[in-house]
Amino acid sequence: MAADGAPVVSRQFLSADHYRSPDAAERERAIYAPHFWHPLVPLSSLPEGSALALELLDLPLLLSHPPGGPPQVFLNRCPHRGVALLSPAAEAQACRRLVCPYHGWTYGLDGLLRAAAREGEFAGAFSRQDWPLVALASAVRGSMLWVAVGPDPLPLEQQLDLMEQELGAELERPRVLLASLERELACNWKIAHDNTLDDYHVAIAHPTTLHRQQGPVRHYRHRFAMHTNLLATPVVNPGQSGSGAKEFLTFGAPPWIHWLVWPDGRLALISFPPLDPGRCRLQVWLLGDPSQQPRGQEWIEELGNFLEEDRVLVEAAQRGYSSGLTPGPAHRLEARILHQQALYARIMGLVEPPAPSASA
């Protein structure tokens, strides 16, 4: 174990095949993605009495928030003949019922069938209670709505283990969406995930953006748990901090997510859900106190600046990996990449590299 708590770096990066092979992408859909929870939307973007359709990993999802109850996630697929009940949209829409556009089956926001057209004329016995929407497991954590796409996911608190330990109750402080950002990246999701875990490149590739936020490399503090890792950097001028924290925290977590946490309570969640072996989506949600809303646009543009610097690099790296690169040696400041790759290898059943170790 190194002095800063990082696992000793004596391992290699994952081989390039994992970054370009359709077979690897297929196995990730079948094995890796179902093992974890996936952030969908901030809770503040799905008020009670509203619904929203979106896609995750090619799954059509329907998010709803019944009045007086918790939010729900269903397959956006009418049980009658499979048509989507709602069209994907950027924002949730206020509604009391979901009416299928094909034959008019009508659902409550709780996913129960309320009415079907010409109900007495089905071929066999018909009972509404036999035809609810298919529900997926969902949870609210860190002011976000999460979904599990497999039947037996890792508990969400284990997936976010180090965040839970470092932030404690601060993680559950109610936050609202201040601003968001979404782009498509022409790279495998692992190139984007690796890059956001890469503490070796920041001083070189982001000299006037992220590096100014994170400060000198000699002050970097690393921490590793079973699933999540952390880079903490001191904040010289923390501003109006209510928590007393004086560090800027950058967490990396499976399956492909990152959390940035500022001393003023702001929190950005970055996710890279895959689209196909050579493309992924970049999603950023900036969350904070409602009083911070006036600065949301300014802050998301700051994030967008260094993420654009990264876009150029990750898309170039994808071309390098696709041309048959054998990756070079890993640096001490790339230990967070190796940590997540070891986790990936363990879940995917690969022999390289070895399983991650927990340390605090």
The site that binds ligand FES (CB under 6 A) totals a number of residues, namely 9
Output the smallest distance, CB 170 to Fe ion, in A: 25
Q: Is the dihedral of CA 174, 178, 183, 185 positive or negative?
A: negative
**CA dihedral sign, ordered 17, 23, 27, 29:** positive
Residue 346 contacts which entry, ligand FES, Fe ion, none (Cβ below 5-8 A, type-dependent): none
> Is 102 one of the binding residues for ligand FES (CB under 6 A)?
yes
Closest CB to ligand FES among residues 27, 128:
128
How many whole angstroms from its chain centre is CA 21? 22
Shortest Å distance, C-beta 90 to ligand FES: 24
Of residues 31 and 83, the one with the C-beta less far from ligand FES: 83
For 261, the enclosing helix (H) or strand (E) is strand 257-261
Residues with Cβ within 8 Å of residue 295, at least 6 apart in sequence:
178
Q: Report CA torsion sign: 308, 312, 313, 317.
A: positive
The nearer residue to ligand FES, 78 or 260, going by C-beta atoms, is 78
- Residue 310: which of ligand FES, Fe ion, none does it interact with, CB under 5 to 8 A by kind? Fe ion
From residue 69, give the alpha-carbon distance in Å to each of 24, 47, 49, 131: 39, 11, 10, 21
Chain position whose Cβ is nearest to Fe ion: 310
Among the residue ranges 41-49, 95-103, 214-222, 229-237, the one whose residues contact ligand FES (CB under 6 A): 95-103
> Among 310, 314, 345, 347, which residue sits at the site for Fe ion (rule: CB under 5 A)?
310
When binding is defined by CB under 6 A, the residue of 96, 97, 103, 221 that contacts ligand FES is 103
Q: Which of residues 245-304 bind Fe ion (CB under 5 A)?
A: none
100 sits near ligand FES (criterion: CB under 6 A) = yes
Q: Which of 252, 253, 207 is nearest to 37 (CA)?
A: 253
Rg of the chain on CA atoms, in Å: 22
Q: Should residue 78 be labelled a site residue for ligand FES when binding is judged by CB under 6 A? A: yes
Number of residues interacting with Fe ion: please give it, by CB under 5 A: 1
Among 27, 29, 80, 295, interactor with ligand FES by CB under 6 A: 80
Stretch that binds ligand FES, among 79-87, 127-135, 197-205, 207-215 (CB under 6 A): 79-87
Determine which residue in the list 1, 30, 31, 83 makes contact with ligand FES, applying CB under 6 A.
Answer: 83
Residue 215 tokens, joined: 């400060």
**Residues between 223 and 252 with contacts to ligand FES, criterion CB under 6 A:** none
SS3 75: strand
List the end-to-end C-alpha distance of the chain, in Å, as a whole number: 11
Q: Closest distance between ligand FES and the C-beta of residue 104, in Å?
A: 6
**Cα 54 to Cα 199: distance, rounded to the nearest angstrom:** 33
Q: How many CB atoms lie within 10 A of CB 229?
A: 27
Going by their DSSP bridges, the two strands 221-224 and 59-65 should be labelled as: unpaired
Alpha-carbon torsion, ordered 281, 312, 208, 245, to 10 deg: 30
Shortest distance in whole angstroms from residue 102 CB to ligand FES: 4
The candidate with the shortest Cα–Cα distance to 14, out of 355, 323, 327, 354, is: 327
Residue closer to ligand FES, measured from CB, 33 or 85: 85
Q: Is 81 in the site for ligand FES (CB under 6 A)?
A: yes
Stretch of 164-172, 173-181, 274-282, 306-314 lying at the interface with Fe ion (CB under 5 A): 306-314
Taking alpha carbons only, the member of 47, 46, 51, 145 closest to residue 96 is: 51
80 binds, among ligand FES, Fe ion, none (CB under 5 to 8 A by kind): ligand FES
Of ligand FES, Fe ion, none, which one does residue 122 interact with (CB within 5 to 8 Å by kind)?
none
Residues forming contacts to ligand FES in the complex (CB under 6 A) are 78, 80-81, 83, 100, 102-105
Give contact residues for Fe ion (rule: CB under 5 A): 310
